[in-house]
Amino acid sequence: MEVKLNKYIRFIYIALWGYIIVFFCTFCTESKKTYTITGKAPDLKDNTVLYLVPIENATKETADSTYIVNGTFEFKGEIEKEEVKIIRTKSHLSFRFQPVLVVIEPGEIKVVLDSVSIAENTLQNELLQTWKNVKQDFDKDIEMQKKQLRNSEETFKQEIRERIGALSEKYATYNYEFIKQHQHTTVGQFVYKMVGNSLTEEQKESLKLIEKEQ
């Protein structure tokens, strides 16, 4: 009788520990991931309100806000889903810095709000920042060429148009390669929504084929 009782107690002990292990494993699996955005805003006054707003389907419930304190700010939260948001302020203050796009993903995202704002220090924000840098360079080059086109004599206009076409083709190729490499990430899907219309039909079909193969 005592032997059977000891076996029963041992069984209960093992079962209890098994339950505890399963509980903690489930808890760890289901616990939500978090993000932190730490930022600097050297040209904004203390108590200036900043907003963190989704690019798509923004509502009062999905927006967040914080204040500038000693030229710094912070956002924290749980990640319901990875998505791209924008940090901005009220419209009449927007000229003081460039609103910045950030990918909400686990980790500490570091931001600087300035005439050219940056977001970095996590994998997808580094990728997004790289893409933004290329886009800013392209926009600058295209604007310079268009200015020359407006001010040039007719004999030079065709040459300038060809340069604009070459720049646009180069940029479209870069976007295609970027999307192809990162199409299953939040940043890749965001870039596709931004510039997908500039891709050729062949490039769009190629992306669809790659998605089917994977």
183 — phi, psi (to 5°)? -65, -20
Instruction: Give the pLDDT confidence of 75-94 residue by residue, as tens digits.
Output: 999 998 999 999 999 865 66
- Global pTM exceeds 0.85: no
Lowest mean pLDDT among 71-75, 203-207, 209-213: 209-213
In the chain, % of residues over pLDDT 90: 64
User: pLDDT tens for residues 9-63?
Assistant: 555 555 555 555 544 444 444 467 999 999 999 989 999 999 999 998 888 888 9
